[in-house]
Structure 1
Amino acid sequence: MNQFEQLKEEEVDEREDNVCVREEKRDLDSSNRRKTITPGPGEHPLQYNYTFWYSRRTPSRPANTQSYEQNIRQIGTVASVEQFWKFYSHLVRPGDLTGHSDFHLFKEGIKPMWEDEANKNGGKWIIRLRKGLASRFWENIILAMLGEQFMVGEEVCGVVVSIRFQEDILSIWNKTASDQVTTSRIRDTLRRVLNLPPNTIMEYKTHNDSLKDNSSFRNTKITL
């Protein structure tokens, strides 16, 4: 059992059913959100601070950079294992979200946008999930990222779970799409930490291609 699992029990009983996060977290002043978060006394620091984001859009409306940026909302930043479990325990699980909603968890200072300086030369691995699996897979990929299991230095930018009507989609973003060694290592680690069957289809798409066709999940490169 790692430190994430050991400390989870201290917070899990505080979980409540709410739309996204507790009202007091939702009403935090935006200037406070931008302040650097630090671990509390005696807490176990994460290697990087991480920020949770939430977005939702109407499928019938065409997506563009401006509308996407308006729809995405920063909901909290964590700097320690204890802070993570305390915050995470109040989040609705992805499986309970309605269609076309996304949770994002990115290193502090990186926006979950293709155009962000840390993302613009990168891409993402994509795993399509049948309905009912999103919550478990989301938690597993978060713990792998926060626990530095990918072993690729600063290459991992963040992870996203996308809830759609027919399927759910898990993706992990990395900085350098042209670095095949790193992208392959991320893919292989994903297979291991998510315990994916050998025949699971993995898709990759560069953010540059996403900007060209204004799409996150169409026209991907497929690999087994």
Structure 2
Amino acid sequence: MAEDQTEVESKLEELTLKEESDVGSVGNEEATDLLIKHPLQNRWTLWYDNPGKKITSQQWQDSLKKIVTFDTVEDFWGIFNNIRPASKLTLGSNYHLFKEGVEPKWEHPDNFKGGKWIVTIKGRGSMLDQQWLWLLLGVIGESFEEENEICGCVVSLRKSQDRITLWTRNAYNEAVQRRIGYRLKRLLEIPDNITVGYQIHSDSMKRHSSFNNRNRYEV
């Protein structure tokens, strides 16, 4: 695994429990302390939707379902290991992971002036699942220096190509967004010769679509 992935995992490992053999080697009081869950810096909510084709905005909102909210390392792994992998979702559906209180909607106050970095993935399978996990670990592990800019992330399955997006709060701060974009590429091990684009939500709202919009920035 590359250096950036090791860095993300090492941050989370600092929070996780010791191996069962370690727990067994200490007294009951110490073992109880080791079993305490390890909190994340933020609370996160996992959402799911599968709206189908050619639906209205209201129909999409009706299809959006909140699955669970969590705030510890242990709860994250318990959820991740027991839900369907992203690559096995139905075409047209999405997983959304957002900070608690931030709905995965363009119109939400935390997203309204923001946008998203978009990573497209051709060939559904282990690559999609791997990069989605790396991004999840990156956001909940506060791997981005501009942590307050991060709203959430989405994985979307589509017929032509799947994609992963990272949503940020302020689309018009170019310097910050470019730093996030470069960090995203390193986190997902995207080669330098592959371009990742950033689109603003206001364009999506005008077109009622998040696909095929022009990129405001590229890295």
Q: TM-score normalised to the size of structure 1?
A: 0.81
Where does structure 1 lack aligned partners over 5 or more consecutive residues? 11-40
Q: How does 1:28-107 map to 2 (within 5 A)?
A: 42-59=36-53, 61-62=54-55, 64-107=56-99
Q: Please tell me the root mean square deviation across aligned C-alpha atoms, in Å.
A: 1.9
**Match for 2:213 among 201, 209, 219?**
219
Partner of 1:35: none
Q: How does 1:54-203 map to 2 (within 5 A)?
A: 54-59=48-53, 61-62=54-55, 64-131=56-123, 132=125, 133-203=127-197
Runs of 4+ in 1 over 3 A off after TM superposition: 3-10
Q: Cα distance, 1:167 vs. partner? A: 1.0
Q: Which residue identity lines up with residue 129 of structure 1 in the other structure?
A: I
Segment drifting more, 82-91 vs 106-115? 82-91
Q: Which residue identity lines up with residue 2 of structure 1 in the other structure?
A: S
Quickly say closer, same or farther: Cα 1:51–1:8, change in 2 above 3 A.
farther
Identity score, percent: 34
**Structure ID, larger Rg:** 2
Aligned partner of residue 2 in structure 1, secondary structure: helix
Give the Cα–Cα distance (whole angstroms) in 1 for the partners of residues 181 and 101 of structure 2: 24
Q: Cα distance, 1:223 vs. partner? A: 2.3
Contact 2:50-2:90 within 8 A present in 1 as well: no
Deviations 1:101-143 (A, max 9, x none): 1000000000000000100000001010012221111000000
Give the Cα–Cα distance (whole angstroms) in 1 for the partners of residues 180 and 191 of structure 2: 16
Segment drifting more, 108-117 vs 180-189? 180-189
Q: Cα distance, 1:9 vs. partner? A: 10
Contact 1:123-1:177 within 8 A present in 2 as well: yes
